[in-house]
Every structure is written in structure tokens, then in C-alpha cells.
């Protein structure tokens, strides 16, 4: 790597939005903003329209096609003109709109719509409450996914006190809970205790159906004792675990107008009211499935706050992140529209569930919730995640993760491909509730610029180059390195599958960390294979070696498909090779062996 390449990548890492503006932003010749008759522009006093707004409005046919509620992405611009903190917004999201005014600092509204809301006299014209009503009553909204306005400071766009909207409790607020459980009576007891406690505290009529697909005799007896104690219906069906079919079976036995599908490893913390808020949302005329924020045991790390479609498939956004922090306009604190919610805690109105014919039983486990939610979207409903309410999810207690088992991983891949094919018209441009300008590989909300993992080479179809033997420099320079991971992976966030991954960090003491290229030398089955690795970001290495220079990219990683080895014994030895070109083009380098 050259010094210039190192500088560019380091700058991208330090300020990815600056790089996004330079490399990905659409540039148009600036024009004066001329809003035609029949439309009104509403903007914050500190919000400035970009010169490219008018040409973009024309390109999207904003006025000619009769859109009545128009908004764009935005960012902040300081006194020096530096742009930062972009807000890449979702497409039309009525429930997010009820939570806060996500369209932001600049909105264009058809006069006919604005006059209709003004006539109601509830809100001052131009207020966030007024604009929210325009958005909720819009018949043809348009989101232009480009940064076309700039604010002078950070805005939260929260509604004024007294302007918050809340849904009414339906008269028939009874909920039927379906829980699948096998050989985990102690876990189920915790789940049902919390459910019944919440039901009593919230005054919600509840029935509970537990479907058991083949527990041992001892555990079957324990389940029957629990059923008698907690007054739930216990059904034992000794059959293959097909989540969708078992849930449909449970739903057939229920009677109330709202269905709650709950994993048996869900724990309801004391004093947590979640049934009534879920019912109120699920009763909404435009609402499909309703989910909640789920936290890992301990209540600090996020497990689920909405499902997003990323490059590798359906993913739990912010999974593993600390919930004591807030992220990206407080998405982990608000009610938001999402593509899907997890089936671990999912509520849907019965009539809507029946409208999509329940769970598609051709999906066994992994994409059952995604399929149900996409089916509801196709019927015109919006799925909602209530991230202001959280339960605890003891994930993987009841079933081993698909990512750890080859057979299950193949099933996961098949279900993903079939689901994406089934809804290709809905998903052809990605997830409508997640901007294409945000990362499509990470679980955070960072700008969609190449991460260091995106630069990791992936070798397919054939062996690498032959191995070279290098000796340590006679001047006594020392190679410092560490191998962090060496093993097989089923998949990664970039969409690669079934490969050997080797990663770590390495540099030559006393020389810039970027100066040497890194390769890995694999010895397997009597053959040697040499693969060049990619440099990756390592924030920790510069901290550990403060006396060394330019170590931000001292990490390395390479991914190698199994078909690259003629004799895949699974007992590979690996050596780390660092090389650079000398003044006269001669390759010099170092080698360090590692035997796992």
C-alpha cells in the first residue's frame, strides 16, 4: 500500500460522510427554487434548500405526477460550510411520523392537502403537528432519497407537548398468545409467569396456547402441571419442528381478535406493560405486524429493534449494541416502521393474519417472520416496532443458531433466496424503510461507504500463487503480529459463503504500518498456497504501540473459498508473509509461522 492510498482510506474512516459527498452524491446544476402554484413550502428558519432541489423535484416528477407530500434527506452544515451528520430517511412511514416528524426541516405540501388540515383548526399552520397531519392524510407522498436541504444545527423534530398522538384501546382488546416449546418447562414457566403478570396488571383478557412438538415424558408431565397451574392450553404434537406450521396450528385453537406469537425464552421484566400498547398499534387500520425491542439477558445489549434487509439478508439492526446509548435519531427509543419484526414477540390482528393466510409453511424456521411481514406489506399494511418498550430474549436457549450448523445454514440460505424471490417486486430497490445511503453490511447506521471488510479479498475457484520463502531482515528488524481468527465460516455480512477466514494484525517494527503488503501462506495436504490479504482498520493496535507510526491499517484479513484447495484436509498450517518492493524493484520480506 502506498502512502497516498493509506491517507485516502484513513480519511474515509475518519469522515465517511465527506467521502460519500465526494464519491456518491448526485450533483446537479444549481437552480433557483420556484415552487409552482398549488404547492407550499414549509421549512425551519435555519434550514436552507440545496441548489439541486429544484432540478431533483423536476426529475422525480414531484409536481407533474401529483405528489401531495414531498420531503428529502438532509444534513447539518456548520459556519465553515462543513457538512456533517446526514439524516438519510426512510420512505413513507406513517407510524414513525406519529412518533416524531421524521420528514425534517423542509417539506412541500399540496395546497389542497394543507387547506384540508387547516380547516380542522387543531394545529397552527406550519407547526410540526400541522405537518404531521398533512403527512398522515397524504394520498401520494414522495421521498426523494438525496440530501437536498441543510440545517444550521441539530434538530430532533419532536412534537410540542400536547401534540402527541395516541391510539385508542379497541373494545375487543383480548389477545391469544401462541408459544412453541419443547423440553424447556423451566424456561416456559418464566415466560408464562411474566405474560400472566402483565395481563393482570394491564387488565387484558388473555388466553395462552402452548404447542409442544415432542418433549420427553418427564418434561411432558411438567408441562401439564404448568398448564394446570397457569390455566393455559397445552397441545403435544410429536412432529418435525416447522415453526410456521406449529404457529398456524396454535392460531387455529385461539379465539381472541389479536394474536401474539411469543418464544418460550422471552422474559417479561416486572412492571413492564406491553400487551396494551401492542394491541393499540395492531388495531390500527393501516398496521400489520407489531414488534418490540428485545434485549439480551442483563438488559443492556440490544437483540432486536427491527429487521432490515442488508446485503447478507434479513438482519437485526443494532444487534449487540449497548441500549444505554441512543442511535440515529433515537431509533432504539421510538416507535418506527420497519420491513419486518421478529417472530420471537410478534402481534397481529387475527383478520389480517387470516388475510395473508397465516405463516407460509414452506418456510420452516428462519424467514417465517420476514415472509409474514412482507405478505402484510403487500396487502397495504405497515409493520411497526415499539422500541420504547423492551422485553428480555434468551436467544438460542431453545434452538441452536442456524449459523453454527451446516445443514441449518443451507436451509437458511434456501429460505432467504426463496423469500427474496417471492417479494422481488417489493424489495427490488432494497428495504423501503432503510436508506440505500446507509451501510448495507453493518448493523449500525453508518454512511454507506466501503468498510475495511469490504476491501478484504475473497478468493474463489482455484489455488493461489506458489509459496515464497523469506528470511528475517539481517539488520535485526522485528515483525510484530497476531493471528486473531483462523477457521471456517458459513457466511459473512458481505454475502460471501463457505470460506476459510484468516485475520489479525502485522507490521514491521520501526516502519510505517502500511508499508508492507500482507499475504498468508497456507500449507495443506503437502501443497503451499499464497494469498494476498487486505489491510483492515485496527484502532487498538496504535493504542498498544504508541511509539510506532501509521498503524490504523495494520490489520489484515483474507477469505478463501474451500474450492481453492486441492486437498482440503482441514488441518491447515499458516504463515504470515510481509513484503515490499525495494528501490530497484526487488521483493524483500519476512515470514512468521503459525501452527493452529
Question: How far apart, in whole angstroms, are the C-alpha atoms of residue 343 and residue 199?
Answer: 20
Asked whether the domain spanning 452-594 has the same topology as the one spanning 174-427, the reply is no
Contact between 125 and 114 (Cβ < 8 Å):
yes
- Phi/psi zone of residue 232: left (φ > 0), alpha (ψ -120 to 50 degrees), beta? beta
Considering the segment(s) 174-427 as one domain, its CATH architecture is Alpha-Beta Complex (3.90)
Distance CA 266, CA 263 (A): 6
pTM of the model: 0.91
User: Nearest 5°: phi and psi at 363?
Assistant: -100, 115
- Which CATH number applies to 452-594: 3.30.70, 3.30.460, 2.60.40, 1.10.10? 2.60.40
Q: Can you give the residue ranges of every domain in the chain?
A: 28-151, 174-427, 452-594
Q: Which residues pair with 489 in a beta bridge?
A: 499
* Spatial distance between the Cα atoms of 67 and 52, rounded to a whole number of angstroms: 19
The per-residue pLDDT for 13 is 87
Q: What pLDDT score does 529 carry?
A: 80
Buried b (16+ CB within 10 A) or exposed e, 126-157: bbbbbbbbbbbebeebbbbbbbbbbbeeebeb
**How would you write the pLDDT of the chain (596 residues) with one tens digit per residue?**
788 888 888 888 889 999 999 999 999 999 999 999 999 999 998 999 999 999 999 999 999 999 999 999 999 999 899 999 999 999 999 999 999 999 999 999 999 999 999 999 999 999 999 999 999 999 999 999 999 999 998 888 999 877 878 888 898 889 999 999 999 999 999 999 999 999 999 999 999 999 999 999 999 999 999 999 999 999 998 888 999 999 999 999 999 999 999 999 999 999 999 999 999 999 999 999 999 999 999 999 999 999 999 999 999 999 999 999 999 999 999 999 999 999 999 999 999 999 999 999 999 888 999 999 999 999 999 999 999 999 999 975 444 454 556 777 888 889 999 999 999 999 999 999 999 999 999 999 999 998 888 889 999 876 555 555 555 544 556 778 888 888 888 888 888 888 889 999 988 888 888 888 888 888 776 777 888 899 999 999 999 999 999 999 999 999 998 778 766 655 567 777 787 765 444 445 566 655 54
- What are the residue ranges of helices labelled H in 349-405? 350-355, 368-378
User: Whose grid coordinates read 441543510?
Assistant: 150
CATH number of 28-151: 3.90.550.10
pLDDT of residue 462: 63
Amino acid at each position: 500500500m502506498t502512502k497516498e492510498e493509506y491517507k485516502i482510506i484513513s480519511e474515509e474512516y475518519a469522515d465517511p460522510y465527506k467521502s460519500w459527498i465526494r464519491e456518491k452524491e448526485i450533483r446537479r446544476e444549481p437552480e433557483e427554487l420556484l415552487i409552482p402554484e398549488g404547492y407550499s413550502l414549509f421549512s425551519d428558519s435555519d434550514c436552507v434548500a440545496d441548489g439541486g432541489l429544484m432540478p431533483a423535484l423536476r426529475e422525480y416528477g414531484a409536481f407533474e405526477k401529483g405528489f401531495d407530500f414531498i420531503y428529502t434527506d438532509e444534513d447539518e452544515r456548520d459556519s465553515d460550510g462543513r457538512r456533517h451528520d446526514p439524516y438519510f430517511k426512510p420512505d413513507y412511514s406513517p407510524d414513525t411520523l406519529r412518533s416524531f416528524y421524521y420528514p425534517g426541516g423542509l417539506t412541500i405540501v399540496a395546497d389542497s392537502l394543507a387547506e384540508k388540515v387547516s380547516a380542522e383548526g387543531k394545529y397552527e399552520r406550519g407547526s410540526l403537528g400541522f405537518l404531521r397531519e398533512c403527512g398522515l392524510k397524504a394520498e401520494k407522498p414522495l421521498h426523494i432519497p438525496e440530501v437536498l436541504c441543510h440545517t444550521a444545527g441539530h434538530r430532533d423534530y419532536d412534537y410540542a407537548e400536547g401534540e402527541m398522538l395516541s391510539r385508542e384501546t379497541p373494545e375487543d382488546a383480548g389477545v391469544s398468545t401462541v408459544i412453541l416449546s419443547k423440553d424447556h418447562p423451566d424456561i416456559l414457566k418464566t415466560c408464562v409467569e411474566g405474560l400472566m403478570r402483565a395481563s393482570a396488571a394491564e387488565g387484558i383478557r388473555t388466553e395462552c396456547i402452548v404447542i409442544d412438538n415432542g418433549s420427553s415424558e418427564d418434561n411432558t408431565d411438567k408441562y401439564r402441571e404448568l398448564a394446570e397451574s397457569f390455566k393455559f392450553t397445552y397441545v403435544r404434537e410429536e412432529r418435525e419442528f416447522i415453526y410456521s406450521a406449529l404457529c398456524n396450528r396454535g392460531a387455529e385453537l385461539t379465539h381472541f381478535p389479536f394474536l401474539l406469537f411469543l418464544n418460550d425464552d422471552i422474559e417479561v421484566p416486572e412492571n413492564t406493560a406491553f400487551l396494551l400498547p401492542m394491541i393499540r398499534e395492531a388495531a390500527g387500520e393501516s398496521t400489520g405486524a407489531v414488534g418490540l425491542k428485545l434485549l439480551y439477558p442483563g438488559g443492556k445489549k440490544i437483540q432486536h429493534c427491527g429487521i432490515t434487509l442488508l446485503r447478507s439478508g434479513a438482519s437485526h439492526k443494532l444487534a449487540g449494541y449497548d441500549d444505554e446509548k441512543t442511535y440515529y435519531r433515537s431509533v432504539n427509543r421510538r416507535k418506527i416502521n420497519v420491513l419486518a419484526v421478529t417472530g420471537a414477540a410478534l402481534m397481529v390482528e387475527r383478520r389480517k393474519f387470516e388475510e395473508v393466510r397465516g405463516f407460509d409453511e414452506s418456510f420452516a424456521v428462519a424467514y417465517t417472520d420476514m415472509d409474514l411481514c412482507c405478505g402484510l406489506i403487500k396487502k397495504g399494511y405497515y409493520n411497526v416496532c415499539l422500541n420504547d418498550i423492551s422485553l428480555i430474549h434468551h436467544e438460542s436457549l431453545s434452538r441452536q443458531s442456524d449459523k453454527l450448523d451446516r445443514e441449518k445454514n443451507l436451509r437458511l440460505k434456501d429460505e432467504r433466496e426463496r423469500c427474496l424471490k417471492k417479494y422481488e417486486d417489493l424489495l427490488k430497490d432494497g428495504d423501503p424503510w432503510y436508506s440505500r445511503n446507509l451501510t448495507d453490511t453493518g448493523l449500525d447506521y453508518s454512511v454507506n461507504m466501503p468498510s475495511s471488510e469490504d476491501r478484504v479479498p475473497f478468493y474463489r475457484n482455484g489455488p493461489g500463487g506458489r509459496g515464497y520463502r523469506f528470511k528475517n531482515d539481517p539488520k535485526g528488524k522485528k515483525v510484530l503480529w497476531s493471528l486473531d481468527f483462523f477457521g471456517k465460516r458459513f457466511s459473512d455480512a458481505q454475502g460471501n459463503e463457505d470460506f476459510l477466514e484468516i485475520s489479525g494484525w502485522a507490521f514491521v517494527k520501526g516502519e510505517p504500518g502500511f508499508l508492507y503488503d500482507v499475504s498468508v501462506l497456507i500449507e495443506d495436504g503437502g501443497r503451499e498456497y499464497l494469498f494476498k490479504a487486505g489491510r483492515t482498520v485496527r484502532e487498538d493496535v496504535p493504542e498498544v504501540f504508541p511509539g510506532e507510526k501509521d498503524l490504523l491499517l495494520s490489520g489484515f484479513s483474507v477469505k478463501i473459498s474451500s474450492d481453492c484447495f486441492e486437498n482440503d484436509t482441514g488441518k491447515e498450517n499458516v504463515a504470515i508473509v510481509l513484503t515490499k518492493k525495494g528501490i530497484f524493484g526487488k521483493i524483500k520480506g519476512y515470514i512468521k509461522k503459525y501452527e493452529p
